[in-house]
Amino acid sequence: MDNKQPLLDVKDLKQFFRISNKFTVKAVNGVSFHIYPGETYGLVGESGSGKSTIGRSVIRLYDPTAGTINFDGVDISGKLSDTEVQHLRTNMQMIFQDPMASLNPRRKVLDIIAQGLDVHHLCKSKQEREEKVYQILEKVGLSREHANRYPHQFSGGQRQRIGIARALIMNPKLIIADEAISALDVSIQAQVVNLMKEIQRETNIAFLFIAHDLSMVKYISDRIGVLHLGYLLETGTKEEIFSNPVHPYTRSLLSAIPLSNPRIEKHRTSETYEYETSGIDYAKGVSNHIDGTHYVHATPEELKVWL
């Protein structure tokens, strides 16, 4: 992995929102991470920690307050030229949490999926457009007959496949999946996750996978980043994070995953973590190398206590 070029390289990203003269929300406060081609990076952390904001800054729905975002060899953190916008909008795609809310109910599946092709004028003929949609439908486990239906005529899992098809048809290098499976039931989650992995094997696509279900994140990700209050507290391979969590917040997060083994789960209580009373100051911490790809955000004194 060492000599490979990252596909996405985010350095010291800050995304602030000014609410009033006196008050600014520091949603993302100096976050760095990178994703290699063909890799899945999982982003976890409590509600409000800044996960979606990172996704939205990276795909440039926001103007970053500070920091750099390098995507596919191009710095996309500043003002973008038309060709850079075109490059970004085709090579980076996003899948959203609620498939029903993100699919236009009055448009046929064919037109929903072809939307990106239409916007960027990527098809020469009507026939080519249809053929591309049919191919992608098959890839996500639907059939060409589905092309003429409307979103409400599909089950939750099938709708999420339409969302994936719409992202895939652009043949992107990176897909940001923001809570893309959280609303689905276990068996359907498994279908969607298997599909994402299979497509990754075929096309070497990279995923930024945002979720709060850690067991799914562990299953799908190669590396994981733990976010809290806008700070990336710990990052590493899933083995590094799950077998050697260093930061107390990561430890409490892992201890809170309910295990599906009743005889153990009934007697377990989770570790608690309260930032306000912990004595930890994120603003003073820096990134510390533990080993391999494992990094922890801490002051030298904090690190001494935790290791």
Partner 1 sequence: MTEAIKKEEKILSIRDLSISFQTALGSVDAIRGVELDLYRGETLAIVGESGSGKSVTMKAVMGILSSNGVINSGSIDFTYYDNDEKIDVDILKLTKKHMRSHINGKHIAMIFQDPMTSLNPTMNIGAQIMEGMIWHKKANKKEAYQRALELLELVGITDAKKRMKNYPHQLSGGMRQRVVIAIALACNPDLLICDEPTTALDVTIQAKILELIKDIQKKMNISVIYITHDLGVVAKVADYVAVMYAGKIVEKGTVDEVFYDPRHPYTWGLLSAMPDLDTFDDVLYTIPGSPPNLSHKVEGDAFADRNIYALNIDHRLEPPMFKISDTHYAATWLLHEKAPKVEMPKALKERIERMLKEASDDGQ
Ligand X SMILES: Nc1ncnc2c1ncn2[C@@H]1O[C@H](COP(=O)(O)OP(=O)(O)OP(=O)(O)O)[C@@H](O)[C@H]1O
Which CA distances in Å does 132 have to 108, 129, 135, 154, 295? 15, 5, 5, 21, 42
C-beta closer to ligand X: residue 29 or 93: 29
Element (H, E) at 169: none
Which one, of 198, 216, 208, lies nearest residue 43 by Cα? 208
* Contact call for residue 277 and ligand X (CB under 6 A): no
| Per-residue tokens: 169 | 């048809």
From the list ligand X, partner 1, Mg ion, none, which binds 27 (C-beta under 5 to 8 Å, kind-based)? Answer: ligand X
Within 10 Å of residue 198's Cβ, how many Cβ atoms?
13
Q: Classify residue 227 by its DSSP letter.
A: E
Distance from C-alpha of 51 to C-alpha of 262, rounded to nearest angstrom = 31
Residues in contact with ligand X, shown as a per-residue x/- string from 21 to 60 under the rule CB under 6 A: ----x-x-----------------x-xxxxxxx-------
C-beta closer to Mg ion: residue 52 or 158: 52
Residues within the interface to Mg ion (CB under 5 A): 52
Distance from C-alpha of 208 to C-alpha of 295, rounded to nearest angstrom = 18
From the list ligand X, Mg ion, partner 1, none, which binds 25 (C-beta under 5 to 8 Å, kind-based)? Answer: ligand X
Q: Is 188 helix (H, G, I), strand (E, B) or coil?
A: helix
Residues within the interface to partner 1 (CB under 8 A): 45-48, 155-156, 182-191, 193-194, 197, 212-216, 218-219, 242, 252-253, 256-270, 272-273
Distance from C-alpha of 301 to C-alpha of 183, rounded to nearest angstrom = 41
* Contact call for residue 225 and ligand X (CB under 6 A): no
C-beta closer to partner 1: residue 117 or 193: 193
In contact, 73 and 8? CB cutoff 8 Å: no
C-beta closer to partner 1: residue 262 or 279: 262
Which CA distances in Å does 145 have to 137, 159, 282? 9, 15, 53
- Residue located via tokens 């239409």: 118
Which one, of 111, 106, 152, 155, lies nearest residue 133 by Cα? 111
From the list ligand X, partner 1, Mg ion, none, which binds 50 (C-beta under 5 to 8 Å, kind-based)? Answer: ligand X
From the list partner 1, ligand X, Mg ion, none, which binds 74 (C-beta under 5 to 8 Å, kind-based)? Answer: none
Residues in contact with ligand X, shown as a per-residue x/- string from 109 to 138 under the rule CB under 6 A: ------------------------------
C-beta closer to ligand X: residue 210 or 220: 210
Q: What totals of helices (H) and strands (E) does the chain contain, helices first? A: 13, 12
C-beta closer to Mg ion: residue 61 or 259: 61
C-beta closer to partner 1: residue 81 or 194: 194
* Contact call for residue 223 and ligand X (CB under 6 A): no
From first CA to last CA, the distance across the chain in angstroms is: 26
Site for ligand X, rule CB under 6 A: 17, 25, 27, 45, 47-53, 185, 212
